[in-house]
Structure 1
């Protein structure tokens, strides 16, 4: 009997999002959703950079992994308290800014 270790191949998030953005349908929807998608990608990107899983962030926020998945997918419009809690969970600080259009 072989004692092989099962490995999982991972793809860096930045490379994955760059690939998605090449798809015209994805890009059109991304642009339509604008700031919501930008925020969602920023959350997931920051979490990936810190090496945390959605489950680990959820535990720190006292919520569920599926709630974190919804945040990172852009399917919900989070409030400032939720964003601040997410930032704290990933070892960051929330900064809100307005920019000229």
Structure 2
């Protein structure tokens, strides 16, 4: 029997220890999601973006999956390749 993802996620996040760990990763998930949005806005495939960045498609995939935290230099290259403006913003909690 297959459990829908959202139902499984809710079940797992009901565990306070899992929730703490999940929440701790939220900033990394947001970076990855923003990279995907930037690429999609630019209308590029991962391969096309990789060519513009001078890297491999697998590197782009790792960045977009959150497996790799990008350096500022990489984020700048990503922004340039997607025609995006690179910004870092810290706001009050």
* TM-score interval, smaller chain: 0.7 to 0.9
| Long gaps (5+) in structure 1 | 1-19
- Sort the Cα spacing of 1:61 and 1:72 in 2 relative to 1 into closer, same or farther, 3 A: same
> Which residue matches 1:25?
9
Per mean C-alpha deviation after superposition, the further-off stretch among 53-62 and 27-36 is 27-36
Within 2, Cα distance between the matches of 1:36 and 1:70? 12
- Sort the Cα spacing of 1:45 and 1:23 in 2 relative to 1 into closer, same or farther, 3 A: farther
Q: Greater relative contact order (Cα 8 A, min sep 6): structure 1 or 2?
A: 2
> Which residue matches 1:58?
50
> Which residue matches 1:9?
none
Within 2, Cα distance between the matches of 1:38 and 1:53? 20
Instruction: Judging by fraction of residues, say which structure has more helix.
Output: 2
- Aligned pair count reads 82
1:4-63 per-residue CA deviation (whole Å, 9 max, x = no partner) reads xxxxxxxxxxxxxxxx6x455287575341111001011101211221000011001100
> Which residue matches 1:44?
36
Runs of 4+ in 1 over 2 A off after TM superposition: 22-32
- Sort the Cα spacing of 1:91 and 1:30 in 2 relative to 1 into closer, same or farther, 3 A: farther
Q: Secondary structure at the match of 2:68?
A: coil
TM-score of the superposition, structure 2-length normalised? 0.76
| Long gaps (5+) in structure 2 | 14-18
TM-score of the superposition, structure 1-length normalised? 0.70
